[in-house]
Amino acid sequence: MMIKETSLRRDPDLRGELAFLARGCDFVLPSRFKKRLKSFQQAQIQNKPEKKPGTPLPSPATFSSSPQPHSPIAAVNNVVSAPLSINIPRFYFPEGLPDTCSNHEQTLNRIEAAFMDIEDQKADIYEMGKIAKVCGCPLYWKAPMFRAAGGEKTGFVSAQSFIAMWRRLLNNHHDDASKFICLLAKPGHSSLEQEDFVPLLQDVVDTHPGLTFLKDAPEFHSRYITTVIQRVFYTVNRSWSGKITSTEIRKSNFLQTLALLEEEEDINQITDYFSYEHFYVIYCKFWELDSDHDLYISQADLSRYNDQASSNRIIERIFSGAVTRGKTVQKEGRMSYADFVWFLISEEDKRNPTSIEYWFRCMDVDGDGVLSMYELEYFYEEQCERMEAMGIEPLPFHDLLCQMLDLVKPACDGKITLRDLKRCRMAHIFYDTFFNLEKYLDHEQRDPFAVQKDVENDGPEPSDWDKFAAEEYETLVAEESAQAQFQEGSFEDYETDEATPPSELGNKSSKIVTSSISEQCGKLQSVDEE
């Protein structure tokens, strides 16, 4: 093939490729090509400008006599290397939005003046309440403030140490949620664990007027505190991480509810988190199941709840670790009182977002985030067996499945997700159908128009849990009042220093609550009247 000299001269790419092949490969090219390449290379050397000392190398464009094609890579690099806009304002404030109008020095001066009114300018845990109000914080922030300023070690807080601590807090944390986390969390931590709430709640038990009767029953302090902590994490810790962040605190009503404790003397009116009546109902339900009173219940004990209303398969899933933490449940097959709090609230209020997540985790056997038709049939089989044992003809699974799909209306056919159950607002009926026979039969006998009316009603009605706790408390108090008429009992037993045996603790708890509520609220007749 003949290549004209003009084409070789006009095609730099071809010249470069041939020159590359010529290196070390002289035997490949014919002699006429070698002559032309040699003359071309000599011409390039003669035309190359000499480099003067101190002058930079010419740009690559000067070595090419023909225009180079535009490189798309260079264009991309130019876009990436362009400077970002500096006019974008900051929009993420993990420690709260700073208030430029606030004067921290005035606040610190007021705190210093408040310490001047305290003897030796040293405040104990009770006087810290005045300091909390001066700081603009709710009364029951006093215990976290006291601990954060080092009062737990010395028994008091000096003005100097508190002002130094509060100055750091004001400079680094700008809203209530961030300040609360900083005061209550361990040093160096930015989230709250369960044990971090103990000092705060112990102060509530010791000082709230609605809990004065508990001073005579210190053995119930830890159990009330455990109940409140579990209810806080049940509602606030939406990530199920076991650690409450400032973002979760901001999205919850916990700080507002904590501030209400200062205004409301009857703690039972604060149904969120702190109600003693709710604690009494939970603890009595647990005590009935805990036959050996070791504060742990087995799988067989839990199956006895509400006359074995829940299926064995769903209870097995609870003890499998799907919704419980710790090795005690999985290895020893025992559930603690803290885990029982989660179970009871989830069982009695399946409309709650946490409850929907709780039971979804239990029914999602393979953990793929979707309830398949196989998993639904797995749980419904036991329901059918129990209905047949009761002489009730169960609905075939295919027909039931059509009803449930119409109820939930999943986005993807044949797959029910957590989002689907939350969106349909009928998750309580869905769950009861597959593992709670008693409530399933109640739903079947109820007017469907009444069910639809409940769904459409968006009014501020009490939750299912509040209704259940109120009804159960009245029932428990009525039973205790009837038994107390035939028994002798007084609070003098609690004045001794001897530890109360667990077997006697359950009976005395009912007497304490019945008498305390009658004293505080005037609703019940004292069981100690002779």
- pLDDT category at 38 given cuts 50, 70, 90 is confident
217 and 185 Cβ atoms separated by less than 8 Å: no
Quote the pLDDT of residue 310.
94
pLDDT(496) > 50: no
Residue 179 to residues 112, 159, 182, 274: CA-CA distances in angstroms?
20, 19, 5, 22
Model pLDDT for residues 319-364, shown as the tens digit of each residue: 998 998 766 666 678 999 999 999 999 999 999 999 999 999 999 9
Quote the pLDDT of residue 315.
96
Model pLDDT for residues 160-213, shown as the tens digit of each residue: 999 999 999 998 888 899 999 999 999 889 999 999 999 999 999 999 999 999
Point out the least confidently predicted range of 105-109, 314-318, 383-387, 426-430.
105-109
Residue whose tokens read 């003890």: 319
Residue 80 to residues 67, 69, 173, 301: CA-CA distances in angstroms?
25, 21, 36, 64
pTM for the full model?
A: 0.74
Point out the least confidently predicted range of 57-61, 346-350, 439-443.
57-61
Backbone angles phi, psi at 334, to 5 degrees: -125, 140
3-state secondary structure 288-352: HHCCCCCCEEEHHHHHCCCCCCECHHHHHHHHHHHCCCCHHHHHHCEEEHHHHHHHHHHHHCCCC
246 and 94 Cβ atoms separated by less than 8 Å: yes
Model pLDDT for residues 141-173, shown as the tens digit of each residue: 999 999 999 888 888 999 999 999 999 999 888
CA nearest to 293, candidates 240, 391, 219, 351: 219
277 and 473 Cβ atoms separated by less than 8 Å: yes
379 and 271 Cβ atoms separated by less than 8 Å: no
Where are the strands (E) in 94-161, listed by range?
122-123, 157-158
Quote the pLDDT of residue 483.
82
**Average per-residue pLDDT for the chain:** 80
